Amino acid sequence: MEQKTIRLGDPSFREIRHGNYIYADKTQYIHKMLKISKCCFLSRPRRFGKTLLLDTIDSLFQGERTLFDGLWIDKNGYQFEKHPVLNFNMAYDEISTKDDLIARIKRNLRKHARQEGIQLTPDDSIREMFDDLLQGIYEKFGVGAVILVDEYDAPVTRHISDLALALANRDVLHDFYQSMKANIKHIHFAFVTGITRFAMTSLDSGPNNFTDISLMSKFSGICGFTIKEFNKLFKNRFTKTLKILKKAEDIEQNADVAKLKATILDWYDGYNWLGPQHVLNPYSILNFFTENRLRTYWPLTGKSLYISQLAQERPLDFMSPKLESYLSQEIRISDLENIEPASILFHSGYLTIDRRIHVQNEEAFILRTPNREVKLHYKSYIFMQIFNKTLSNFQNFARDITVAILEKKSKQISDKLHDLLSGITFRQHLASEQHYHSLFHAAFAAAGIEVMSETAGSKGQADMAMFLDSKIRVVLELKYRKGSDTGGGNENEHAAKSLVATLDEAEKSIRDKDYAGPFRMAAKEIICMALAVYHRDQVAVRFVDSHVSKNPPDS
């Protein structure tokens, strides 16, 4: 078999076919879609090939038959009838109001109208313009249009922290898709893709609903590499890659090709959308065979703004996802006003379906992380989203924080925690002790420290208990004091006094309520730490010996 070239980046279907690059033939899935419904919706994580799939459908309906030579759909008698194709990518930049979104969609509609020679009225609504475009195309060409929408949910997810704007944008999208439903007889085929389901009310309400193929078994391999595709496409690369990994000592010296395949699957396989087999991450596989290195690829591809914003608001929900059963509606439907972390993590690719079960006669799913790549990087990824930090920031924090606690370096600890808080945007700071408690719990957990919140004793409950090893316990009491934005020459002095007073309050709780008590029998050493936060990011630390009145100095 000829060894084809790997093309990284985002090549079009035309570039791949003209350049003889590696391509997993997905045309059989496209043919199934055309048979099953006139309007289809697909949800998949970023970098899984949704855009390439749309581009393939575009070429199909442009009648570019030569691009499909040797592919399944060409071998099975497809007629390659041409249809006008209307492409919409909803990942518009600089959308700060719903009017911005309306203007961008209208601009796209006018562009397609010019290309097809259709006259539109500029002052009409989106719905009126779309109606005129679809009807005009049908009357002019005698065939229905093909509509392809990429990143349909971007106007909603990119503004998830501004619920009013997200909902307003969703209403705009609702009008856009309602026009498609109203003109179904003028449409030959419509395909909409995205990551989340936050905007699904724009699609799944009213007549002529879109058919959601996301969790249909027959479409489980529509994006990514199946095992069969993996073995076929990379057949001529396994032996060479094995030699390179052995030379770099990244795999056992006695490993064979079978062991190499098992290792690759352990790293990059495991995604399941209720199909007969798992799917490998295409982005990671292509990069792996380019670099010939077993390392993290996909989790480092970019920042998910909606995860970042949600994780800053609810850090513990995202740092410690519960891998228990979730009822099917919780991963099939995302309520924009009450987002479930499990749902967003599933649709974004950080959780996948392990198996389907039934709980009290309701369909439910057991969710898990898909593979080693995600497991290794998940906590650091969420850490970076919460605190707006880089991977090196995370690595430095994880490396230094435990040592600083063990050595009771209060200044070093307070500086590191201050740096974390300074990375959070103004909008995401919430003036509550519970919020900062959650942020620090998430930070310590991301660093690999076992953390328990609100550990109960006979006289009260400490905010956190940390297990540094089997014999060392850290009892932490956090107090928060709200500041102001008025500024002024004495603000620093006031902040310092406030931090000291807040530390005194935290220390008093540690002593009076004997927070160290529950750990004295089992722990070789107990470290009591008072932590004070003033305003948004001013932090101070004091180590407390519950048996001795004199303490190490404040940070």
Same domain as 370, residue 412: no
Is there a domain that residue 236 lies in? no
Which residue type is seen at 226?
T
The CATH number for 193's domain is 3.40.50
81-127: pLDDT as tens digits: 999 999 999 998 788 899 999 999 999 999 999 999 999 998 999 99
Whether 130 contacts 138, CB under 8 Å: no
- Sort residue 327 into left (φ over 0), alpha (ψ -120 to 50) or beta: beta
The whole model's pTM is what?
Answer: 0.87
Is there a domain that residue 259 lies in? no
Same domain as 472, residue 341: no
Burial of 487 (0-12, 13-18, 19+ CB in 10 A): exposed
Return the residue matching tokens 């101070």: 540
Average pLDDT, the chain: 89
Is there a domain that residue 325 lies in? yes
Find, among 193, 187, 204, 170, the residue nearest to 131 by Cα.
187
Helix (H, G, I), strand (E, B) or coil at 467: strand
**Torsion over CA: 384, 389, 395, 399 (sign):** negative
Is there a domain that residue 18 lies in? no
Within a 10 A sphere around the Cβ of 501, how many other Cβ atoms? 13
Same domain as 395, residue 353: no
Share above pLDDT 70 across residues of the chain, in percent, rounded to a whole number: 92
527 lies in which domain range? 388-544
Is there a domain that residue 6 lies in? no
Within a 10 A sphere around the Cβ of 154, how many other Cβ atoms? 24
Whether pLDDT at 281 is above 60: yes
Chosen domain end from 325, 352, 374: 374
Is there a domain that residue 162 lies in? yes
Q: For 59-68, 169-178, 238-247, which range has the lowest pLDDT when averaged over its residues?
A: 169-178
- Sort residue 82 into left (φ over 0), alpha (ψ -120 to 50) or beta: beta
Is there a domain that residue 146 lies in? yes
Polymer length in residues for the chain: 555
298-324: pLDDT as tens digits: 988 777 778 888 888 888 888 866 555
Q: How many domains are there within the chain? A: 3
Alpha-carbon span 453 to 444, nearest angstrom: 11
Same domain as 309, residue 160: no
Same domain as 483, residue 429: yes
Same domain as 214, residue 314: no
Instruction: Return the C-alpha torsion angle 7, 8, 11, 16, nearest 10.
Output: 20
131-189: pLDDT as tens digits: 999 999 999 999 999 999 999 999 998 888 788 999 999 999 988 998 998 999 999 99
Is there a domain that residue 450 lies in? yes
Helix/strand/coil (H, E, C) string of 395-459? HHHHHHHHHHHHCCCHHHHHHHHHHHHHCCCHHHCCCCHHHHHHHHHHHHHHCCCEEEEEEECCC
Same domain as 419, residue 350: no
Q: Compute φ and ψ for 467, nearest 5 degrees.
A: -110, 100
Whether 346 contacts 265, CB under 8 Å: no
Chosen domain end from 201, 219, 237: 219
Helix (H, G, I), strand (E, B) or coil at 160: coil
**Residue 424, token pair as written in the block:** 């959070």
Same domain as 335, residue 410: no
Chosen domain end from 219, 241, 264: 219
